[in-house]
Amino acid sequence: MTGYLVTIGLEVHAQILTRSKMFCGCSADYAEAAPNTHVCPTCLGLPGALPVINRQAIEHAIATGLALGSRIQHDTIISRKNYFYADLPSGYQRSQYDDPLCVGGWVDLAGDAGPRRIGLTRVHIEEDTGKLAHGDDGASYVDFNRAGVPLMEIVSEPEIASPEEARRYFQKLRQILVWIGVSTGDMERGALRCDANVSLRPAGQREFGAKVEIKNMNSFRALERALQYEIERQAVLLRDGVRVRQETRGWDEARGVTEAQRTKEGSADYRYFPDPDIPPLRVDEAVIARCATRLPELPDERRARFAAIAGIGASDAETLTADRGRADYFEATAAACQAAGATPRDAAVWIIGELLRLLNDSGEELSSAARRMPPAAIAELVQLVGSGAITRTTAKEVFEIAFRSGAAPHAIVGERGLAVIGAGDLLAGLAREALANNPKAVAEYRGGKLAAIKFLIGQVMKATKGQASPQAVQAALEAELSRLDA
């Protein structure tokens, strides 16, 4: 934005993947449940109901902090955030204020302009609210099944410089959360939500401009578009000499605009105080160490390891580590290929070139397709190509049949007669036929135009449906030409 510096900070709310809620034993699987069936006195905020902390939610939050490079606080407090809204039955939300579970950390981004590290302020735990539904009769209904579901709020430092960088940060953070198994990251179901704070200030001014919070963004694209609109809106106001109000605005996806909702609250408005029903939480080193040992190899580390494998560059490594399931599948396929005398590069070529294409065309998840196309099947296919049993062109056909049917590659080759056509009477006959049908190309070749042989090879390859190797075809053609010249 010419003349102005953009400052963006994101607050990402991720539902923690647990079977029960944050402070009670009710099921946290609310998506398909009938309204108000996964509730109890605690998550309904009824007087006298006492909370019990979900240990797994705490450990998942610790694992998140470790994955993000945060410092885990040994002593932390659950506080009450007081405000009134229809989806908050108790009149307060259990959250954290002064003493979050995780402090600091970062998210590393790669880009054309070089690597960027976005700092984190904190990662803290809280409980989700209920959901409002607005009926055609003009009435509003509240479903409290979601109330009390464990949440993490991951707050970035105000270091994000553009809407595009904000989108990449959010995508990278989602990848990490899903990778380590602490959240589904399902944005369509509300398991991952994002609020953005954005301000503009004239270039050279040290003091930040008025902070505007944007809500209701339920996709990466919506986040980027909302920030683009809001930055332009604030720039127009500043150019016209109008003060930007500190407020909360909602993103209207259909209209592509942000709309004022309310004046932006400060922390004092929520009157935070320690929850008297929950004693201070003590996290000892043994718990932190246990969480650390459960962490898998993280995406960036695995990407760097893959990129160091011969024949696999940074771009392929990026593709292979888009999610943990894909990375695991590649590792298993690479191992199977090596056991069959091939290389990890062979595994990468077939996964990226064929498997991902077929998955994209079918819309199927890898976890489902892998039951029909296990790593051993790709290794078997690579071995068939390497041994000369089938051509690479035929291998692509076999791959697709195996992907759709689950049949073993060697069985497909045998049943469909797809084995390579080697030197012999059949190939010699096809070569003679190609020469007879293409006298112009034959004359050009005899006249010294060596490229004409490629056309003739193509004609024979077409006749064999790719089941002969180009080298064998060329040898057959040259043998027939020599016989004719004799």
- What confidence tens digit (pLDDT) does each residue in 23-64 have? 999 999 998 999 999 999 999 999 999 999 999 999 999 999
For residues 241 and 383, membership in a common domain is answered with: no
Please name the residues in contact with 329: beta carbons below 8 A apart, sequence gap of 6 or more: 351, 366, 370, 375
pLDDT tens per residue, range 269-312: 899 999 999 999 999 999 999 999 999 999 999 999 999 998 89
Name the amino acid, one letter, at 375: P
Q: Look at residue 470 in the predicted model and tell me its pLDDT.
A: 79
* pLDDT value, residue 18: 98
Q: Of 39, 12, 352, whose CA–CA distance to 183 is shortest?
A: 12
Q: Which pLDDT score is estimated for 350?
A: 97
Calpha distance 285→75 (Å, rounded): 11
Same domain, 378 and 430: no
Task: Verify that 137 and 245 share a domain, yes or no.
Answer: yes
Same domain, 133 and 228: yes
Average per-residue pLDDT in the chain? 92
Count of the separate structural domains present in the chain: 3
Coil/strand/helix, residue 143: strand
Tell me, what CATH number does 471's domain have? 1.10.10.410
Distances (CA, A) of 418 to 33, 218, 224, 354, 404: 51, 49, 50, 19, 17
The answer to whether residues 197 and 115 belong to one domain is yes
Helical H segments across 340-408, by residue range: 344-350, 356-362, 366-369, 375-386, 392-405
Are 46 and 187 part of one and the same domain? yes
Dihedral angle at the C-alpha atoms of 179, 77, 145, 135, nearest 10 degrees? -100
Residue 147 in tokens: 């109330």
Whether residue 468 is predicted with pLDDT greater than 90 in this model: the reply is no
Place of tokens 């590393």: 108
Q: Which of 237, 263, 290 is the last residue of a domain?
A: 290
Distances 408 to 361, 383, 385, 394, 459 between C-alpha atoms, Å:
21, 13, 14, 14, 30
Domain with 394, as residue range(s), is 297-416
Q: Letter for the amino acid at 376? A: A
Give 374-407 pLDDT, tens digit per residue. 999 999 999 999 888 888 888 999 999 999 999 9
pTM above 0.95, yes or no: no
Query: What is the predicted pLDDT for the residue at 64?
Result: 99
Question: What is the C-alpha to C-alpha distance for residues 127 and 18, in angstroms, rounded to an integer?
Answer: 12
**Does residue 426 surpass a pLDDT of 70?**
no
Tell me the residue length of the chain.
486
| Cβ contact 472:423 at 8 Å | yes
Report pLDDT for 134. Answer: 86
Residue where a domain terminates, one of 361, 395, 416? 416
Is there a contact between 399 and 352 (Cβ–Cβ < 8 Å)?
no
Q: Which tokens in the block code for residue 44?
A: 């309904």
Asked if residue 259 and residue 200 are part of one domain, the reply reads yes
**Which of 168-172, 350-354, 409-413, 447-451 bottoms out in mean pLDDT, i.e. has the lowest?**
447-451
Tell me the per-residue pLDDT of 179-231, one tens digit each, with 9 for 90 and over. Answer: 999 999 999 999 999 999 999 999 888 899 999 999 989 899 999 999 999 99
Query: Is the pLDDT at 486 greater than 60, yes or no?
Result: no
Longest CA–CA separation in the chain, Å: 106
Q: Pick from 177, 212, 203: which is nearest to 191 by CA?
A: 177
Percent of the chain clearing pLDDT 70 (strictly above): 97
Q: How confident is the model at residue 2 (pLDDT cuts 50, 70, 90)?
A: low
In a shared domain, residues 207 and 311: no
Measured in Å, how far apart are the chain's first and last C-alpha atoms? 77
> Residues 337, 342, 346, 350: is their CA dihedral positive or negative?
negative
- 3-state DSSP call for residue 385? helix
pLDDT at 481 over 80: no
| Strand, helix or coil for residue 6 | strand
pLDDT band at 439 (very low <50, low <70, confident <90, very high): confident
Task: Say yes or no: 173 and 29 in one domain.
Answer: yes
State the SS3 of 8-30: EEEEEEEECCCCECCCCCCECCC
**pLDDT higher than 90, residue 421:** no
247 and 98 share a domain?
A: yes
CA-based radius of gyration for the chain = 31
Q: Dig out the tokens for 134 from the structure.
A: 């607005």
User: Do 79 and 148 share a domain, yes or no?
Assistant: yes
Q: Establish how many alpha carbons lie within 13 A of residue 267's alpha carbon, considering only the half-sphere containing its beta carbon.
A: 8
- Of 394, 416, 438, the one marking the end of a domain is 416
Residues 254 and 165 in one domain: yes
